[in-house]
Structure 1
Amino acid sequence: MQPTISIPKHWDYPRFVFGQRTQQGVILGLEYYPADTQLAYEYGHGWRYSLMPHKKSNEAFHYQESQLKTLSTQELLAQITAELEQHQLQIMILQQQLLMITGGNNG
């Protein structure tokens, strides 16, 4: 069963989704501040997003929807390709370590 998130009909639908990559980082969370609340008065009404700028970050940053910028197809492709290459390199290193432990030279 797929998890479902319900958004009240009188709220705007969010422009970004969990896990989406943006120029500011990866979206970790969303909050909605209705127009007639203290939070909306302080921060502006609408969607606010929590983002982690990179995987090694120990902080999350908060942005209003209007502050976020999407990545171009080329930027997204470059980010994913770089991450994939990094993981492939880590796999090769681990495979070499495993060979050293198991005596991969059959001797």
Structure 2
Amino acid sequence: MDQRTKDGIILGLQYYPNGTELAEQFGGGWRYALMPNKNSDELFHFQESQIQPLSPQELFSQIRAEIEFYQQQIAIRQQQLGALGGGSTNG
């Protein structure tokens, strides 16, 4: 889980066996629950054939942006600690 796709982040999956009411309504096979982004309160469901993986470049770009965001958050927290005089800003 937590795999990134063009439509969002995979949160879970369900299998709808052929011949069941759910399969008749939504289509049989695997269905994936995706959240468009980590700050979303929406959830979308896609059949396996509808899932579009990210290219290696797109995945790298997303992960790099997330790393940079968290590095900025760490720097802000270190400054806040320094301003309080209660923490070391080493390493």
From the two aligned structures, give the one with the greater helix fraction.
2
1:43 to 1:103, Cα distance in 2 relative to 1, 3 A: closer
Instruction: For structure 2, list consecutive stretches of 5 or more residues without a partner in the other structure.
Output: none
Supply the distance in 2 between the matched residues of 1:97 and 1:82 (Cα, whole angstroms).
23
Measured on the aligned residues, the alpha-carbon RMSD in Å equals 1.1
Supply the distance in 2 between the matched residues of 1:103 and 1:95 (Cα, whole angstroms).
10
Q: Deviations over 1:66-92 (max 9, x none)?
A: 111000000000000000000000000
Aligned residue type for 2:80: Q
SS in 2 for 1:51: strand
Q: Could you tell me the percent identity over the aligned residues?
A: 59
CA displacement at 1:61 relative to structure 2: 1.0
Aligned length: 87
2:38 maps to which residue? 55
Instruction: For structure 1, list consecutive stretches of 5 or more residues without a partner in the other structure.
Output: 1-17
| Match of residue 29, structure 2, among 46, 51, 60 | 46
Q: Moved runs in structure 1, 4+ residues, more than 2 A?
A: none
CA displacement at 1:19 relative to structure 2: 1.2
CA displacement at 1:55 relative to structure 2: 0.9
CA displacement at 1:60 relative to structure 2: 1.1
CA displacement at 1:25 relative to structure 2: 0.6
